[in-house]
Chain A
Amino acid sequence: MCLAIPSKVIKIENTIATVDVYGARRDVSLLLMPEEVTTGDYVLVHAGFAIQKVDKEAANEALSLIKELLEKQEQEEEFY
Chain B
Amino acid sequence: MEVCGTHTVAVFRHGIRGLLPESIRLLSGPGCPVCVTSIKDVDTAVALSKVSGVVLVTFGDMMRVPGSSRSLYEAKAEGADVRVVYSPLDALKIASENKDRRVVFFATGFETTSPLVAATLFEAEKEGIENFYIYSVHKLVPPALKALLDSPEVNVDGFILPGHVSTIIGSRPYEFIGKDHGIPSVITGFDAKDILEGILMLLKQLDAGMSDVQIQYRKVVREEGNPRAVATINECFKPSEVYWRGIGTIPESGLILKDKYRKRDITEIVNVDVPEGSEPKGCSCGEVLRGVKLPTECALFAKKCTPETPVGACMVSTEGSCAAYYRYRSG
Residues of A with Cβ closer than 8 Å to B?
1-4, 29, 31-34, 44, 46-49, 51-55, 58-59, 61-62, 65, 69
Does B88 lie within 8 Å of A51, measured CB to CB? no
CA distance A32 to B225 in the complex (A): 12
Instruction: List 6 A-B pairs, Cβ < 8 Å.
Output: A2-B5, A2-B113, A47-B59, A48-B88, A48-B116, A65-B191
Does B89 lie within 8 Å of A2, measured CB to CB? no
| Chain B, residue nearest A61 (CB) | B191
CA distance A5 to B29 in the complex (A): 23
Chain B contacts with A in 54-71, Cβ cutoff 8 A:
59, 61
**A29 touching B119 in the complex, CB below 8 Å, given contacts A1-B109, A47-B87:** yes
Does B226 lie within 8 Å of A51, measured CB to CB? yes
Does B227 lie within 8 Å of A34, measured CB to CB? yes
**A3 touching B6 in the complex, CB below 8 Å, given contacts A32-B116, A46-B113, A47-B113:** yes
CB distance from A10 to the nearest CB of B (A): 19
CA distance A51 to B169 in the complex (A): 11
CA distance A54 to B217 in the complex (A): 11
| Pair count A-B, CB < 8 A | 101
Does B61 lie within 8 Å of A1, measured CB to CB? yes
Q: Which residues of B sit under 8 angstroms from A29, Cβ to Cβ?
A: 89, 119
Overall SS of chain B's interface: helix
CA distance A26 to B143 in the complex (A): 35
Does B87 lie within 8 Å of A48, measured CB to CB? yes
Residues of B with Cβ closer than 8 Å to A?
4-6, 13, 31-34, 59, 61, 86-90, 108-110, 112-113, 115-116, 119, 122-123, 162-165, 167-168, 189, 191-192, 219-221, 226-229, 232, 317, 319
| Chain B, residue nearest A4 (CB) | B164
Q: Given A1, A2, A32, A55, which contacts B119 in the complex, CB threshold below 8 Å?
A: A32
Does B228 lie within 8 Å of A2, measured CB to CB? no
Does B112 lie within 8 Å of A2, measured CB to CB? yes
Q: Which 9 A-B pairs have the closest CB atoms?
A: A48-B87, A58-B219, A2-B112, A2-B164, A34-B228, A31-B119, A32-B229, A47-B87, A52-B220
| Chain B, residue nearest A32 (CB) | B229
Does A46 lie within 8 Å of B220, measured CB to CB? no
Does B87 lie within 8 Å of A49, measured CB to CB? yes
CB distance from A76 to the nearest CB of B (A): 9
CA distance A50 to B13 in the complex (A): 26
Q: Which residues of B sit under 8 angstroms from A51, Cβ to Cβ?
A: 112, 115, 164, 167-168, 226, 229
Does B34 lie within 8 Å of A1, measured CB to CB? yes
Q: Which residues of B sit under 8 angstroms from A2, Cβ to Cβ?
A: 4-6, 31, 33, 109-110, 112-113, 162-165
Does A4 lie within 8 Å of B167, measured CB to CB? yes
Q: Which residues of B sit under 8 angstroms from A34, Cβ to Cβ?
A: 226-229
Does A1 lie within 8 Å of B32, measured CB to CB? yes
Q: Which residues of A sit under 8 angstroms from B87, Cβ to Cβ?
A: 47-49
Does A32 lie within 8 Å of B167, measured CB to CB? no
CA distance A34 to B32 in the complex (A): 26
Q: Which residues of A sit under 8 angstroms from B116, Cβ to Cβ?
A: 32, 46-49
Which of A2, A4, A33, A51 is packed against the most chain B CB atoms within 10 Å? Answer: A2
CA distance A33 to B189 in the complex (A): 20
Q: Given B31, B112, B192, B219, which contacts A46 in the complex, CB threshold below 8 Å?
A: B112
Q: Which residues of B sit under 8 angstroms from A53, Cβ to Cβ?
A: 220
| Chain B, residue nearest A46 (CB) | B112
Q: Which residues of B sit under 8 angstroms from A52, Cβ to Cβ?
A: 167, 220-221, 226
Does A1 lie within 8 Å of B226, measured CB to CB? no
Q: Which residues of B sit under 8 angstroms from A3, Cβ to Cβ?
A: 6, 164
Which of A3, A51, A62 is packed against the most chain B CB atoms within 10 Å? Answer: A51
CB distance from B36 to the nearest CB of A (A): 11
Q: Which residues of B sit under 8 angstroms from A44, Cβ to Cβ?
A: 164, 167, 220
Q: Which residues of A sit under 8 angstroms from B61, Cβ to Cβ?
A: 1
